């Protein structure tokens, strides 16, 4: 069975991106409080698979973006993607018992042909798709597997943090941020769906080709007044700070390092830092 991949860090990044409290997400997911959500995000537990569609809907993102799956679904996957527990599905359709459904999902005994139309309708698939899923549950056909693609919660967290700083009153939508960045550079370099995918934890290389990614990062850096390097995947906090320092020195056209036999930063760069600190404290 190829279950959907769950990443607590990706869930946290998306929740923060839409400015939703854990308690609200818990209520929308039907778990009652913030505590299960906190455990999911910390990696201490994972949500029941049938809860994933409700979580994705609450966060306003496609389930395949937030919880991708490698391969094709079996019976369990179809049921969970429809948002039903085993007992709930049996209760709603009245075409199959919970025990018969469980036996089919375990690859023990196939469903009666008469129950297939009602179950397919409940799951939102065709009868043929349901039959194919049943064959996968019985091992008659293999689910085509693809290599797992790592997510990029660090990039999502970085972008979310910058948005929180730039828009303390109201978080902009993905469309609003894309429009604002495009207006800043007088060119269409970002689309709303690309911003939404970044905030959901998708990797930049899966959204842009190399040239477009560079242009998008430069535009985001210009808009948020940070180095474009902060958006690159896999950088440590120390690397990002150093890149910001270099970017700041270049912005103010001063040498970063002291010349001659001296060590450390240059007096000119220290003066820039002192000036910026004074300005920040006077706000």
Q: How do the domains of the chain map onto residue ranges?
A: 8-66, 75-137, 153-248, 252-283
- Mean per-residue pLDDT of the chain: 83
Of 128, 137, 153, 148, nearest in space to 7 by CA: 153
- Judged against a pLDDT cut of 50, whether residue 1 lies above it is answered with no
Tokens describing residue 140: 């008659």
pTM: 0.59
Tell me if residue 4 falls in helix, strand or coil: strand
Q: How many CA atoms lie within 13 A of 8 on its CB side?
A: 13
Write out the H or E segment, with its range, that includes residue 65. helix 63-66
**Domain over 8-66 is classified CATH 1.10.260.40:** yes
pLDDT band at 264 (very low <50, low <70, confident <90, very high): confident
User: Is the distance from CB of 153 to CB of 10 less than 8 angstroms?
Assistant: yes
**Residue 255 per-residue DSSP state:** -
The pLDDT value given to residue 197:
84
Q: Which residues in 22-57 are b (16+ Cβ under 10 Å) and which e?
A: beebbebbebeebebbbebbeeeebbebbbbbbbbe
What distance in Å separates the CA atoms of residue 243 and residue 223, rounded to the nearest whole number? 17
- Judged against a pLDDT cut of 90, whether residue 129 lies above it is answered with yes
Packing angle between helix 86-93 and helix 98-105, nearest 10 degrees? 130
Of the given ranges (11-25, 31-45, 147-161, 263-277), which has the lowest mean pLDDT?
A: 147-161
- Judged against a pLDDT cut of 90, whether residue 118 lies above it is answered with yes
Packing angle between helix 8-17 and helix 153-166, nearest 10 degrees? 20
- Judged against a pLDDT cut of 90, whether residue 25 lies above it is answered with yes
- What percentage of the chain has pLDDT greater than the value 70? 85
- Judged against a pLDDT cut of 50, whether residue 125 lies above it is answered with yes
**What is the DSSP secondary-structure string of 132-180?**
HHHHHHTTSSPPPP-PPPP--HHHHHHHHHHHHHH-SSSPPPHHHHHHH
Taking residues 70-74, what's their average pLDDT?
85
Tell me if residue 69 falls in helix, strand or coil: strand
Question: What end-to-end distance do the CA atoms of the chain give, in Å?
Answer: 57
> In the CATH scheme, what architecture does the domain 75-137 have?
Orthogonal Bundle (1.10)
Task: Tell me how far the alpha carbon of residue 181 is from its chain's centroid.
Answer: 21
């Amino acid at each position: 069975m190829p279950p959907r991949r769950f990443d607590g860090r990706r869930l946290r990044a998306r929740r923060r991106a839409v400015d939703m409290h854990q308690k609200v997400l818990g209520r929308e997911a039907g778990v009652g409080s913030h505590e299960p959500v906190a455990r999911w995000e910390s990696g201490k537990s994972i949500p029941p698979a049938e809860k994933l569609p409700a979580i994705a809907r609450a966060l306003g993102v496609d389930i395949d973006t937030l919880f991708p799956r490698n391969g094709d679904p079996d019976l369990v996957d179809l049921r969970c993607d429809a948002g039903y527990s085993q007992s709930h599905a049996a209760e709603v359709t009245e075409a199959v018992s919970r025990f018969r459904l469980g036996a089919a999902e375990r690859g023990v005994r196939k469903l009666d042909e008469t129950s297939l139309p009602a179950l397919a309708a409940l799951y939102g698939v065709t009868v043929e798709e349901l039959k194919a899923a049943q064959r996968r549950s019985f091992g008659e056909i293999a689910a085509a597997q693809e290599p797992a693609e790592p997510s990029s919660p660090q990039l999502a967290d970085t972008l979310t943090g910058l948005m929180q700083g730039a828009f303390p009153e109201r978080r902009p939508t993905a469309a609003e941020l894309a429009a604002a960045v495009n207006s800043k550079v007088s060119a269409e370099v970002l689309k709303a769906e690309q911003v939404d995918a970044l905030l959901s934890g998708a990797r930049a290389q899966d959204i842009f080709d190399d040239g477009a990614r560079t242009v998008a990062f430069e535009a985001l850096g210009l808009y948020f007044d940070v180095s474009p390097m902060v958006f690159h995947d896999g950088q440590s906090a120390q690397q990002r700070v150093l890149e910001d320092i270099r970017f700041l020195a270049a912005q103010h056209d001063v040498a970063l390092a002291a010349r001659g036999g001296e060590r450390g930063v240059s007096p000119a760069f220290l003066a820039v830092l002192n000036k910026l600190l004074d300005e920040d404290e006077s706000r």
